[in-house]
Structure 1
Amino acid sequence: MATDLTDPFDSPQVGVFDAPFDSALSERYLVYALSTITARSLPDVRDGLKPVHRRLLWAMRLLRLDPASGYKKCARVVGDVIGKYHPHGDQSVYDAMVRLAQDFALRYPLVDGQGNFGNIDGDNAAAYRYTEARLTQVAIDLMDGLDEDAVSFRPTYNGEEQEPELFPGAFPNLLANGASGIAVGMATSVPPHNAAELLDAAIALVDDRQADPLTFVSGPDFPTGGLVVDPAAVIREAYATGRGSFRVRARWSVEREKGGGWQVVITEIPYGVPKGKLIEQIAALINDKKLPILADVRDESDAEVRIVLEPRSRTVDAGVLMDGLFRLTDLENRFSLNLNVLDKDRTPRVMSLREALLAWVDHQLVVLRRRSEHRLAKIADRVELLNGYLVAYLNLDRVIEIIRTEDEPKAVMIAEFSLTDRQAEAILNMRLRSLRRLEEFEIRGERDKLEKERGDLETLLGSETRQRSRLKRDLGRVRNRYGPDTALGKRRTTIEEAAPAREIPLEAMIEREPITVILSQRGWIRAMKGHVDLSASETLKFKEGDGPAFAFHAQTTDKLLLVAENGRFYTLAADRLPGGRGFGEPVRAMVDLDGGTAIAGLLAARRQDRLLVVASDGRGFVAPVAEVIAETRKGKTVLTPRPGATLKIVRPIASSDDYVAAIGDNRKMLVFPLAELVEMTRGQGLQLQRYGDGGLSDAITFRYAEGLTWPMGGDTGRVRTEADLGAWRAARGAAGRMPPTGFPRDNKFAT
């Protein structure tokens, strides 16, 4: 193959070229990437538009779809756009047009739509053959000056038409309406803002380029309202760097009902969240019982958003309910800020808020100068013609004679009256009926007026101070049109700092009800409603051959700790236990506990409590309840017994307890301070009591000043308290001595 040394990317020749594949691929991909960045995805900082939006508005302007005219079918507009300016798919162009007309998508819509243009629920717009549109006043302001050479034009893709490279942009569209887009290797995300605040900041920057725009701009102003709840420091940092995010919440209030009931009404939702999707999220929470304190959700919206939330009971705290919804649904979301835009050189870069506003102000100064220069040229043209008309008026008879008698009257008039070619041509083209209007004072009056205007414009172009003053006056007029006292300009989003949504405590998620938890000897568990009498055997029924192992009173909001002899702790939710009408369900089906491991304990876990955990060989420690709660079915290893030992004792420690009592199988009892026992979350612990033979029988914590109490035995229910425990008090790890007279023969303390 012959090697062609020319660059195939610069050469128009078609053929086969010998070039490395990686370089050929990278160069072609770079062309594609640059095209995506500069001509599709990123907006221009000066007018805030992408090419498709600019071409849509330009086509509508040529169709004379101004706010005072009638509507035209969107199909006509889309056809002109894709036929003359934007050779892409009609659906993508129509989708862009629909967004420009949606008042819930754009803070200041640029298209006034008639028909179905979609809704905040997320429904799509009707086909373009059914909808009609025209421009809004905002779009007119954005394009003001296109007829006055305010911006440059370029040929369209086929060279048959001309289109503006950008718009004059008397309206701060980039920041007022925001923008979003994903290019190759970069993206942009700009939230909408209040136009009046932006214009106030721009006016301040005209005089002082170091002015702080945040003096005037308090934060985003979304078309759907809501609240921005970030601290002022976070907002300031985001605007200073051009990168960050804003935490946006729905606006809600509580409506009281007769009888003490209430309901939450949501009137504004976060920007960009379809209301239909939001309702589905909330309904799913209710169906899946992930937010039990919420009973129902209703959509009562018409033209205004109204979502009604009914709590499970009137005792539910509205703030807790909303915090749960903020955490679990899009009633709170984050809108990112990535002020990545094309600057005046068409170079993509991330700007701060002040840089973006300064770029727009600089563009407005350029537009002001170009419009002034264009007007000067128009004035010069008109003054030249007026001077010619004045010559014709002063020499009317001679002009008529020349026209009647000369074969080349134009050349004769130029030579005789020192006229320019344009002046002579204008005189020759006058109609006879115009002669009576050629009065000297009218001509001189118009010329003097134009000369004065020309002098003012020349002074304006020669003074930057006058240019700044003129720009501030022009921006002030636009600001008055979109001021905070107007319906369109009134701020919709409230900037109000709020703490992050709280993690909802289990007690708030579940309706608190008393239950009686029963675990049988064979491992069947159930929860009976209410606190039943545990001494009444007729209320505790079991399968044949089975019997009670653990039974205690609890609440549906409790977490239960199931403790196995191998030292693993499992966690059960009390509200998820099977009902007490039957015999319950096997607890081993709820956790990963094999059948060969016995259950050592079951108790209610309260996070503020501590537990006494002791193995059969007398080694143990104090464990914080909060650290032993397991989050999965596999549980959590807390005690690691030595070979031959098993976990035997797990008991809660009262806040007032200060001593430990332990008794071994050898019937020797020891009392020592609780402070001598180490607090751990996992391990073997320390030796509570030393044994010559056997192991631990029981251990308990108590308050030393109140003495040690144990049951007398039998059905009398009487107990005995030993107040003087000095004989059994020793250091941890001692052997102990025989218990007081009357201590139970089973070597068990009172529980």
Structure 2
Amino acid sequence: MTDETTTTEPSEPNEAIHLPAREIMQDAFLDYSLSVITDRALPDARDGLKPVHRRILYAMNELNIMPGSAHKKSARVVGEVIGKYHPHGDSAAYGAAVRMAQPWAMRHPLIDGQGNFGSIDGDNAAAMRYTEMRLSKMGAKMFADIGKNTVDFRDNFDGSEREPEVLPVSYPNLWVNGTEGIAVGLATSIPPHNLAETANAFLAWLDNPEISTREIVEHMPGPDFPTGGIVHGLDGYIQALETGRGQVKLRSRWHTEERSRGAKRLVITEIPYATSKAKLVEQIANLVKEKEIEGVADMRDESSKKGIRIVLDTKAGHEPDLIAIQLVAMTSLEVSVSYNVMALDGQRPVQLGIRDVFEHFRAHRIEVIQRRTQYDLDRALERLHILEGYLAALDRLDETIATIRGSKDTEEARGALEQLLSIDATQAQAILDLKLQRLTGMQIQDIRDEHGDLTAKVEDLRDILARPERQTSIMRDELLNLSDQHATARGSEIDNSLSKVSAADLIPEEQVMLIGTRNGYLKRLPADAMSRQNRGTKGRSIIALDDDDVVTTFHSGNSHDYLLALTDQGQVHAVKAYDVPDTGLGNRGRHYRNIYEGLEGDVVAMLTVPDLDSEQASLVIFTAGGYVKRTALSAFSGAKRRGGVQGIRLNDDDRIVCARISSDPESEEIVMTASGSRAIRYPLDEARAIGRTSQGVRGIRLKDGESVLSAEIVHQDSLDTSHLMVVTRKGVGKATPLTDFRLQSRGGQGVTAHAPNKKSGEMVAAAVIGPGVDVVLFTDEGGANRVAGSAVPKNGRATAGSSIIRQGSVTNLLAVPATEDGSLSSNED
């Protein structure tokens, strides 16, 4: 912004005033910010009230709308508030009053409402002309002794009225009822707490200001919400007690009920604080409708004035508790509740830990007790002064009467009494105002008794003012008395055993297939989504492809593994496998860029790993040009971040074929298969470990026009039971024992792996398979055929094999865990 200037026209015909626009805007913004912070959004640390709440309650107190009186129209109260104390909109004042009357919003409502004051479903209250209100018992308690100069008063907005700066509350309302507010650059969020627990914690702190936070938690174990629920994640609560900032989890309460024929129902009876029941029901209904939550046969809201009751009838074989845990992660059945204890200390916003909250309340309450005591002492001294005059007159009663009768007027009588009894004008006037009936014997004794009692009271009041320990004792007794009268049982259960529920906790650990296409689509399927078929069948469609798209990448692994994606640019990205959507058979899935943040280029290889921080494991990358590169897996821990990390430096004419994980290089071997129908087997440790950004070393020497089709890492213990399966473009395949391929040195040309003919066509894919393995063949039409590994014909190296899939042109081969254990057949066809 440029410092443009504005011209202010003065009221007098003088020279114009020039001020920079920036200065005017800064001053105006600061004034506005200060007004919002101090007069609207933040509560006072002493009574826990924002100005609007304090003004509403004070207006009701002035109108004498007390707990024992009749309710008055809300419009009458709102008119009093905005007309005398709060120069803002009537809807804002009414909304604030409504919240103080809602038992699901306030732990201890300060207003007793009559009529429609909204609902926990989020319904609005009726218009203020239809509702009525009065102070609740807790609301009335906030004004105890306000007439005894216990708090300071100030002028209202136009100077026509006086209003209290703070109320003389006798309990820590800031902590008990809590509050929320958003100011300019500041916010406050204080959950409600149990009155009895707060009182006990405050008194424990009062006895020992050095009390530990853990000891405070023993008295006050957590927040207590009017809507109940289960509170957990209490590390954030302890942090909030210490610093004023933290977070807890609040979970709904539910139970299960039996239905007929073995079915059950899930019944939700308590929902989180400040959560709309109607919106929660809508969330659950949408999940059931979209089948993101399985096993729900029917759902209905049976809530009434007796309480909340949301019922989900479950289908036979489905556990209600498991459905509830799924809802916890996917809906507002569990929410995070934040602590940001920001309040006003005078005109200054401050962050408060629990000790600060207690200290502000203690200081305020002690000041109230001192001012109240001083007020009572002043009134007692005034009365005692009058009584002393009475006693002086009674001691000389005949002379007093004669003096009064002998005076011609009141002025003369007053002066004569001052001289006769050695008293001042106030006492003399009181004697003149004394009724004759007070001069009977019994009334005279009452005066003497009152004087004695008042003398003792004055001494007691002076003792209170002189001894801080007595003031503390009074504060303690009054707090305990209020707690005994108004405290209620804890509504929210504290459960230290519950932990955070994330999507990961709800995804079953299962073997999955992850399939990618040339056009960039990726999908996840359970490994058992395809039933086995006999070899030679047509297969079934598991992914929908556009006319110009083909399956190019695929892998299998556990749903909780990390899914590493290697791009054609050599970048490595990582997400959890369950983050890839399961779109079911036939759909094309989700685009890579909607799964991996910052991904550029095409994904050409995938693999799964349980842990990215492993120091023993290595990532081994194979390229079409015959190179192999081994790098410690821990070097790729940054692959989870946006954009991933570089995994290999590729030549311009080279590309990544696949990648594998090595965990024991001294006992593992590499099997690489090339398009020239050749394969090589050599020790993995001949490919030394190198950095992420290097090119790698030669794994197999290729002839012109050849490229690597596949590569696999095999442990030496499984060599005798492992086979190299090859398949041709026309769907002809076979499996050859790995021991038929002699061990060579890295960088050799390898040996024959397949003998093509006109019926078979050229070899296009290969994979190492073993016992308990199924194979899935993919075609360029998006079809796939799953065949038991035991059904793949076993042939020698120099053979073509037999037909495995008849329709479409084979593009790739995937080995997945078998749906049932089996071994390779010795079938020779």
Normalization by structure 2: what TM-score? 0.71
Of stretches 346-355 and 436-445 in structure 1, the one that deviates more from structure 2 is 436-445
Structure 1 residue aligned with 2:99: 99
Partners of 2:500 and 2:450 lie apart in 1 by: 68
Q: How far off is 1:176 after superposition?
A: 0.9
Please tell me the residue identity of whatever aligns with 2:73: K
Structure 1 residue aligned with 2:706: 695
Do 2:625 and 2:708's aligned partners in 1 also have CA atoms closer than 8 Å? no
Partners of 1:57 and 1:38 lie apart in 2 by: 18
Structure 2 residue aligned with 1:407: 408
Equivalent positions of 1:732-751 (< 5 A) are 732-737=746-751, 742-746=796-800
Please tell me the residue identity of whatever aligns with 1:690: R
Partners of 1:561 and 1:356 lie apart in 2 by: 50
Is it true that 1:224 corresponds to 2:231 in the alignment? no
Structure 1 residue aligned with 2:375: 374
Equivalent positions of 1:171-570 (< 5 A) are 171-212=171-212, 214-215=216-217, 216-232=219-235, 234-292=236-294, 297-303=299-305, 304-309=307-312, 314-315=317-318, 318-319=321-322, 321-343=323-345, 345-393=346-394, 399=400, 402-404=403-405, 406-409=407-410, 410-411=413-414, 412-436=416-440, 439-483=443-487, 488-494=488-494, 496=496, 498-504=498-504, 508=508, 531-535=531-535, 537=537
Do 1:614 and 1:649's aligned partners in 2 also have CA atoms closer than 8 Å? yes
Partners of 1:28 and 1:716 lie apart in 2 by: 81
Structure 1 residue aligned with 2:682: 672
Partners of 1:116 and 1:456 lie apart in 2 by: 49
Of stretches 294-303 and 240-249 in structure 1, the one that deviates more from structure 2 is 294-303
Do 2:605 and 2:656's aligned partners in 1 also have CA atoms closer than 8 Å? no
Partners of 1:750 and 1:107 lie apart in 2 by: 60
Give a deviation string over 1:244-288, Cα, whole Å, max 9, x none.
333333333444545444443333222222222222333333344
Partners of 1:332 and 1:379 lie apart in 2 by: 57
Q: How far off is 1:414 after superposition?
A: 3.2
Give a deviation string over 1:464-504, Cα, whole Å, max 9, x none.
22222232222222232244xxxx35353525353322333
Give a deviation string over 1:528-559, Cα, whole Å, max 9, x none.
9761524353676999x99x999x99999899
Q: How far off is 1:456 after superposition?
A: 1.2
Give a deviation string over 1:405-447, Cα, whole Å, max 9, x none.
5321442333333343333333333445555476322211121
Of stretches 736-745 and 345-354 in structure 1, the one that deviates more from structure 2 is 736-745
Partners of 2:275 and 2:255 lie apart in 1 by: 19
Give a deviation string over 1:583-625, Cα, whole Å, max 9, x none.
xx7x699779xxxxxx99999x765699997555444568999
Give a deviation string over 1:683-713, Cα, whole Å, max 9, x none.
9754332245553586565532347577999
Change (3 A) 1:562 1:379: closer
Unaligned runs of 5+ in 1: 1-7, 580-584, 593-598
Do 1:670 and 1:689's aligned partners in 2 also have CA atoms closer than 8 Å? yes
Please tell me the residue identity of whatever aligns with 2:681: V
Of stretches 736-745 and 607-616 in structure 1, the one that deviates more from structure 2 is 607-616
Partners of 2:280 and 2:436 lie apart in 1 by: 74
Please tell me the residue identity of whatever aligns with 1:31: D
Change (3 A) 1:441 1:339: same
Please tell me the residue identity of whatever aligns with 1:673: P
Please tell me the residue identity of whatever aligns with 2:680: L
Change (3 A) 1:575 1:207: closer
Do 1:227 and 1:496's aligned partners in 2 also have CA atoms closer than 8 Å? no
Please tell me the residue identity of whatever aligns with 1:459: D
Please tell me the residue identity of whatever aligns with 1:127: A
Unaligned runs of 5+ in 2: 1-7, 594-601, 612-617, 755-794, 803-812, 816-829
Q: How far off is 1:508 after superposition?
A: 3.8
Of stretches 671-680 and 331-340 in structure 1, the one that deviates more from structure 2 is 671-680
Give the match's secondary structure for 1:360: helix
Do 1:207 and 1:468's aligned partners in 2 also have CA atoms closer than 8 Å? no
Is it true that 1:153 corresponds to 2:167 in the alignment? no
Give the match's secondary structure for 1:53: helix
Q: How far off is 1:132 after superposition?
A: 1.0
Do 1:663 and 1:670's aligned partners in 2 also have CA atoms closer than 8 Å? yes
Partners of 1:158 and 1:750 lie apart in 2 by: 82
Of stretches 399-408 and 237-246 in structure 1, the one that deviates more from structure 2 is 399-408
Please tell me the residue identity of whatever aligns with 2:719: Y
Give the match's secondary structure for 2:127: coil
Of stretches 557-566 and 27-36 in structure 1, the one that deviates more from structure 2 is 557-566
Do 2:567 and 2:605's aligned partners in 1 also have CA atoms closer than 8 Å? no
Partners of 2:69 and 2:798 lie apart in 1 by: 101
Give the match's secondary structure for 1:342: strand
Q: How far off is 1:111 after superposition?
A: 0.6
Q: How far off is 1:164 after superposition?
A: 2.0
Partners of 2:404 and 2:658 lie apart in 1 by: 127
Do 1:230 and 1:246's aligned partners in 2 also have CA atoms closer than 8 Å? yes
Partners of 1:368 and 1:459 lie apart in 2 by: 13
Q: How far off is 1:97 after superposition?
A: 0.8
Change (3 A) 1:612 1:294: farther
Q: How far off is 1:30 after superposition?
A: 3.1
Do 1:514 and 1:530's aligned partners in 2 also have CA atoms closer than 8 Å? no
Give a deviation string over 1:6-62, Cα, whole Å, max 9, x none.
xx9xx9999854444444443344333333322222221111112221121111112
Of stretches 69-78 and 490-499 in structure 1, the one that deviates more from structure 2 is 490-499
Structure 2 residue aligned with 1:595: none
Give a deviation string over 1:656-695, Cα, whole Å, max 9, x none.
9944445656665533234545799999754332245553
Give the match's secondary structure for 1:266: strand
Please tell me the residue identity of whatever aligns with 2:720: A
Do 1:710 and 1:744's aligned partners in 2 also have CA atoms closer than 8 Å? no
Of stretches 327-336 and 58-67 in structure 1, the one that deviates more from structure 2 is 327-336
Which structure dedicates a bigger proportion of its chain to strand?
2
Structure 2 residue aligned with 1:596: none
Change (3 A) 1:404 1:124: same
Please tell me the residue identity of whatever aligns with 2:682: F
Please tell me the residue identity of whatever aligns with 1:142: M
Do 2:234 and 2:248's aligned partners in 1 also have CA atoms closer than 8 Å? no
Structure 1 residue aligned with 2:56: 56
Do 1:262 and 1:314's aligned partners in 2 also have CA atoms closer than 8 Å? no
* CA-based RMSD: 5.3
Partners of 2:460 and 2:708 lie apart in 1 by: 107
Partners of 1:34 and 1:710 lie apart in 2 by: 76
Change (3 A) 1:342 1:576: closer
Partners of 1:462 and 1:126 lie apart in 2 by: 53
Do 1:42 and 1:342's aligned partners in 2 also have CA atoms closer than 8 Å? yes
Give the match's secondary structure for 1:318: helix
Do 1:672 and 1:730's aligned partners in 2 also have CA atoms closer than 8 Å? yes
Of stretches 668-677 and 646-655 in structure 1, the one that deviates more from structure 2 is 646-655
Pairing partner for 2:745 from 731, 743, 747: 731
Partners of 1:434 and 1:419 lie apart in 2 by: 20
Of stretches 114-123 and 204-213 in structure 1, the one that deviates more from structure 2 is 204-213
Partners of 1:526 and 1:217 lie apart in 2 by: 48
Give the match's secondary structure for 1:238: helix
Structure 2 residue aligned with 1:35: 35
Partners of 2:459 and 2:724 lie apart in 1 by: 109
